[in-house]
Each structure stands twice: as C-alpha cells, then as structure tokens.
A = this chain, B = another copy of it.
Amino acid sequence: MSRTSPREQFRAFLAKRGLRATNQRLAILDAALAQREHVTAEQLLDYARDIDDSVSRATVYRTLPILTECGLLREVDIGSGEKFYRTHREGDDTQVAQVVCVDCDRIFEISAPFMSWYGNTVSSKLGLTPVNQRLQVSARCDALRDTGQCARRGRP
C-alpha cells in the first residue's frame, strides 16, 4: 500500500538522523537493491563502483549498518567468516530460517513463523526476553547425491 520507494525511505531515514544523502551512499543502496541473491560487502563494493566508481570499501562498510538499521537490508551471518546482505522488501517475513546448501553454497530463506514462539519458550525459562533469533540449517543436495548433478550448481 505504501507509495514510499526505497530511495525515499533511505533519504527520510538519513534526514531524520542528521546524516547526508551522498552519491556514494545512494550508489550502494542502488547496487544492493539490484541484487536478488545474498551478497557480500566485497561484491556490493564492485556493484556500487559500477554505478559510482568513487565508492570505497570503507564507505561500503560504513554504509551497511545504516541500510540495515533503516530496514532496507537484512544481515545474514551463516558463520562462514564473512557476512551476507540481502535487500529486505516490504512484506518480507521477519521470521526466516536460512538453509545453506553445503554443496552449492547457496543460501535459501524460508519463512519460519514458529521461530518467535520457540525463542520465547526457550528464553523465558532463563528469565530472558528474546531480541532476535536465527534458525540455520546446513544441508546437502538430494539431486547431487542421487544423480551427481544439481541444477543449481554454479548458478549465482
């Protein structure tokens, strides 16, 4: 229903915080929005440089937390050393599980509406209130095991 584009949303967020809408920040935003898959900071740097070649690695790292707090990106940490980022679109479920295929390294996200209940159940026993939670599944590809091939293999 909302008519607010991500660009506007970002500008409004920046203004509210007294931050500036620089070309670099906007280029990073546009680069992120153009990606359908999970991307690393390094990949985002490349894409952002295609839009504005003055973007530096430092600025990407400084901008990512802003975009995350703004709600435009979601940070996904699968414990592999580097963090991944994904555009968070309106209507996206907040409670998602990540399924990481150890064969093709792709990250799938699945709505997991039970998670918040689990988090509450498990935390309340300890006198704690959940802030956020992640369910992460590592899995192997059935097709690859059975036929030696996986259609997803190698795809971005």
Contacts and interface: CB of A to CB of B under 8 A. Distances in A.
Interface of A: 77, 79, 97, 99, 101-102, 108, 110, 112, 114-115, 118-119, 122-123, 125-143, 145
Contacts of A131: 102, 138-140
B101 A112 contact: no
Copies in the complex: 2
B122 A99 contact: yes
A128 B114 contact: no
14 contacts: A99-B126, A101-B126, A108-B126, A115-B135, A119-B139, A127-B141, A128-B140, A130-B138, A130-B139, A131-B139, A131-B140, A133-B135, A133-B138, A135-B136
